[in-house]
Amino acid sequence: MRGSGPREYAEALDLLAGRPLVVLTGAGLSTDSGIPDYRGPGSPNRDRTPMNVAEFRSGPAAQQRYWARSHLGWTRMGHAEPNAGHRALARIDPDLLITQNVDGLHERAGTRRVVALHGRISDVICLSCAAVTPRTRLQARMAEANPGYANRHADLVARPDGDVDLDDTATFVVPGCESCDGPLKPDVVFFGENVPAARVAHCYEAVESLAANDGAMLVAGSSLTVMSGLRFVRRAAEHDVPIVIVNRGETRGDPLATYKVDAGCSELLSDLADLRA
């Protein structure tokens, strides 16, 4: 791995400028949109693990706790807009963009080929009948069932997975599925759940195709702490695909990187978009 001084920064851009690209993004890309990350330097979320799927499925009390917090977090996250990094990636137009984020900002910025590895928080699925409905509709139903709840907790800040830190959840009313009144879950991959196999296979195929086409892999804003994203970096390394990582702080993929740029994402991505224009 080469360092991230001015010369290495320029060399990393040069490596990426004319090649097919697969890009993997994480929470660090959305910090400039006002959505905090998990593991960036100084992040208050570094030691926090979100609710896992077993806890969520354990019954109404856990689901009430989750939805009360998520209702408030969505209210804050729903106002987030794509930042310069998202817009630059839309201009770069990679062969595939794999995002670990659930905020939907890549799609809103206009990127065409996106795999939302962990799903999108904008959809809700029923655990009984599997009906999928828009999150905006559930938000309206929760607001109607819990008048004044959001105003009473207006000072809370959204966390990366779209919830807030709140213990006062016992009175929150959680609406059921509109079709069968079953329990609702955001259509995202919780901790303890597996990413759908077909989704993973599609990403592996895109990474492996880089080897035959003189391509490169770019990781932007991910610490690669969880295997969900790290596996694609490992697959790229196994196929001798050059890897550039831009992230504030260390990542688990650093030993595999051709270049590691210790910086925010928006500047490098904007420079890369200009080079590829």
8 Å CB contact between 190 and 56: yes
- What's the N-to-C CA distance of the chain in angstroms? 28
Bridge partners for 188 per DSSP: 119
Check 106, 118, 153, 239 and give the catalytic one: 118
Closest by alpha carbon to 246, among 230, 255, 257, 238? 257
User: Are 169 and 64 contacting, i.e. CB atoms less than 8 angstroms apart?
Assistant: yes
129 annotated as belonging to a binding site for a ligand: yes
Task: Provide DSSP, 111-134.
Answer: -SSEEETTEEEEEEEETTT--EEE
> Is 118 noted as a catalytic residue in this protein?
yes
Please check if 203 is assigned to a binding site: no
Contacts with 215 (C-beta within 8 Å, 6 or more apart), sequence order: 19, 20, 21, 22, 95, 209, 241
Q: How far is CA 108 from CA 11, 179, 270, in A?
A: 30, 29, 17
Q: Which residues are annotated as a binding site?
A: 126, 129, 177, 180
Annotated binding site for Zn(2+): 126, 129, 177, 180
Which residues are identified as catalytic?
118
